[in-house]
Structure 1
Amino acid sequence: MHGREAIEAHYRVAGARMAGLPVYNPALTVELLGWRAVEGVGALGVLITPWCMNLFWQPPADAELPASGERAVLSLPSGDYECTLHEDERLGRHASASLCSPMQDFPGQAEARAMAGEVLRLILAVPEAGPEPSRSGLLSRRALFRRALGGAS
C-alpha cells in the first residue's frame, strides 16, 4: 500500500499542470482523506483536488482485475462501486470513482473535507442486521451524494 503522502505528492504535480484551467478551484488543495487499509479490499480514501473529488482505491497486489482503463467493482458492505483502473509507474495499480467534478461548488477546503468525510462514512458503513439489502445495481454517484446530503437513496 502506498502512503498518503506519496499519493498526494503525485496529484500535486498534476495540479501544477491543471492550475490555469477553468475547472481548477484555487481555494482547494490536494488531500487524501481517510486513507486506510480495509480487510479484503486493499486501501481506500477520498481524494480531494482543486479539480475533482474521487474515491481512490488501491486493490491488493494479488487481486485479479481487468487491464488499466477498464472498469472494476469495489464491493463493500454498503454497496458496489464502479471504479476505473489505472496503472502508474509511481503509484502502481489503483482505481478511482468520480464523486464530484468540477469543484467550483466548494468555497474552501473545509467544505470539501466535510463532504469527503460524509462519503467515507457512508461507504464504510456496515448495514444493520436485518433483511439482506438488494444489490441489484451499482450505487450511482448521484445516489451516494443524495445520501451524503441527507436525502433518500
Structure 2
Amino acid sequence: MSETQGFLRNVRVPALRAPAALPATIRVDDPSPVLAAHYAAIATTRMAGLPFLNPALEVEVAQCRRLAGDWLAVVITPWSILLTLVFGGGALWRDAGQGERVRCELPVGEMAFIADVGENGLGPFLYCPLIAPAQGIESQACARAIAAEAIDACLQAAPVLMPQADRSDSEPQGLTRRTFLLGRRV
C-alpha cells in the first residue's frame, strides 16, 4: 500500500452532510396561502395526534409583510409560533441547504433562521421558532396578538444600548431572545 492510500484511509468523513442549497424562486405575490397550505399539511400528517399540540390553535398566517424586498411572516400552528422568511427577490434572503442555520439582519438586529423546503408549492423558506411549544397560549386571538407584536418588534430598530456604571456584570447585556419575546426593553 502506498503512503498516499494509507493517508486517505485515515481521513474522517462526516456521517451527515448538509444537503445542497436549493435556489429559491422569487415570489412576487403574498406567500400567505402557500405557507398556510404547507403547515396545514404538516398538521394533518406528521403532527396529527401529538400530545404537545395546543387544541386552541389552528394553522394561520397571522402577519405577512414585505421587508427589504422579501416576505416576513408570522405563522401560528398548534405546536409553535414561527417567524418565516420567503424569498421575494430582496436583500435578506440567503440560499441554504435544508436544516442549515442562516443569519439574517432584520431592523431589530441579527436573527438566526433555519432553512427548510416547503410542500404545496412553497419551495425553500427560512423559519425561526418564536414560541415552541405553544401550549400556554389560550386562544387563536391571543396567538394573533403575539404575532402582531412579534412582527412589529422585528421591524423596529434595536435600541442603542449604552453601558451603565451601576449595572452589575451578572446582568445580561443587549437584546436576548427572552427580552424580545416578552417585549422588554433593556
TM bracket (short chain): 0.7 to 0.9
Among 6, 14, 25, the residue aligned to 2:54 = 25
Q: Give the equivalent residue in structure 2 for 1:54.
A: 82
1:140 positional shift: 4.1
Q: Give the equivalent residue in structure 2 for 1:152.
A: 185
Identical amino acids, percent of aligned pairs? 32
Partner SS for 2:97: coil
Q: Give the equivalent residue in structure 2 for 1:87.
A: 117
Q: Give the equivalent residue in structure 2 for 1:15.
A: 43
1:3 positional shift: 2.3
Number of aligned pairs? 144
Aligned Cα RMSD in Å? Answer: 2.5
1:64 positional shift: 4.4
Q: Greater strand percent: which structure?
A: 1
Q: Give the equivalent residue in structure 2 for 1:69.
A: 99
Alignment deviations for residues 80-107 of structure 1 (CA, whole Å, 9 cap, x no partner) = 1100011235211100011111111011
Alignment deviations for residues 52-73 of structure 1 (CA, whole Å, 9 cap, x no partner) = 1110111345854332211111
Alignment deviations for residues 36-55 of structure 1 (CA, whole Å, 9 cap, x no partner) = 22124x11111100111110
1:139–1:46: structure 2 CA closer, same or farther, 3 Å change rule?
A: farther
Mind listing any 5+ residue stretches in structure 1 that lack a counterpart?
none
Q: Contact (CA 8 Å) 2:62, 2:144: kept in 1 or not?
A: yes
Partner SS for 1:20: coil
Normalising by structure 2, what TM-score? Answer: 0.68
1:145–1:133: structure 2 CA closer, same or farther, 3 Å change rule?
A: same
1:139 positional shift: 5.1
2:4 corresponds to 1:4 = no
2:138 corresponds to 1:107 = yes
Normalising by structure 1, what TM-score? Answer: 0.81
Mind listing any 5+ residue stretches in structure 2 that lack a counterpart?
1-26, 163-172
Q: Give runs of ≥4 in structure 1 deviating > 6 Å.
A: none
Q: Contact (CA 8 Å) 1:74, 1:82: kept in 2 or not?
A: yes
Following the alignment from structure 2 to structure 1, what is the Cα–Cα distance between the partners of residues 102 and 176? 14
